[in-house]
Amino acid sequence: MHQLIPLQNALSPLLRVPGRLYAALMRMRRRSYASGALRAHRAPCLTVSVGNICWGGTGKTPLTDWIVDWALKAGRRPAVLTRGYKASPPHLPYLVSPESSPRQAGDEPLLLARTHPGARVVVDPRRARAAQLLAASNDPPDLLVLDDGFQHLAMARDIDLVLLRPADLVGDWNRVLPAGPWREGETALGAAHALLIKCPPDEFRALDPLIREHLEALGRPVFNFSLAVRGLVRLDQGGTVRDFGGEPYLLVTGVGEPAQVAATAQALLGTAPVHHLRYDDHHAYTRADRDFIDAEARRVNAAQVLCTTKDAVKLAALGAARLWTFDTTLAFGEALFTDQDFPGWWNKVAQRA
For the chain (353 residues), the mean pLDDT of every run of 10, in chain order, is 62 84 98 97 97 88 96 97 92 95 92 94 97 96 97 98 96 93 97 96 97 98 94 84 94 91 92 96 93 96 94 90 91 97 97 86
The b-or-e profile of 83-103 (16+ CB within 10 A means b, else e) is bbeebebeeebbbbeeebebe
Question: If we measure between CA atoms, which residue out of 292, 254, 289, 251 comes closest to residue 271?
Answer: 251
Other residues' Cβ atoms within 10 Å of the Cβ of residue 277? 18
Beta-strand pair 240-241/222-234: antiparallel
What is the DSSP-derived secondary structure letter of residue 190? Answer: G
* 317 residue type, one letter: A
Q: Strand runs (DSSP E) across 83-215, as ranges?
A: 94-96, 120-123, 143-147, 159-164, 194-198
Q: CA torsion sign, 41 to 156 to 86 to 91?
A: negative
- Cα separation, 152 vs 40, in Å, equals 9
- Cα separation, 12 vs 20, in Å, equals 12
Question: If we measure between CA atoms, which residue out of 318, 138, 292, 299 comes closest to residue 235?
Answer: 318
- Cα separation, 81 vs 66, in Å, equals 15
Cβ–Cβ under 8 Å, residues 154 and 127:
yes
pLDDT of residue 337: 98
What is the DSSP-derived secondary structure letter of residue 150? Answer: T
Cβ–Cβ under 8 Å, residues 30 and 153:
yes
What is the DSSP-derived secondary structure letter of residue 158? Answer: S
pLDDT of residue 204: 98
Q: Strand runs (DSSP E) across the chain, as ranges?
A: 46-52, 78-82, 94-96, 120-123, 143-147, 159-164, 194-198, 222-234, 240-241, 249-253, 275-278, 304-307, 323-336
Other residues' Cβ atoms within 10 Å of the Cβ of residue 161? 27
Domains of the chain: 2-221+337-352 (3.40.50), 229-327 (3.40.50)
- Cα separation, 287 vs 152, in Å, equals 35
Which are the contacts of 202, defined by CB distance < 8 A and separation ≥ 6?
Answer: none
- Cα separation, 292 vs 287, in Å, equals 8
- Cα separation, 288 vs 127, in Å, equals 34
pTM over 0.85: yes
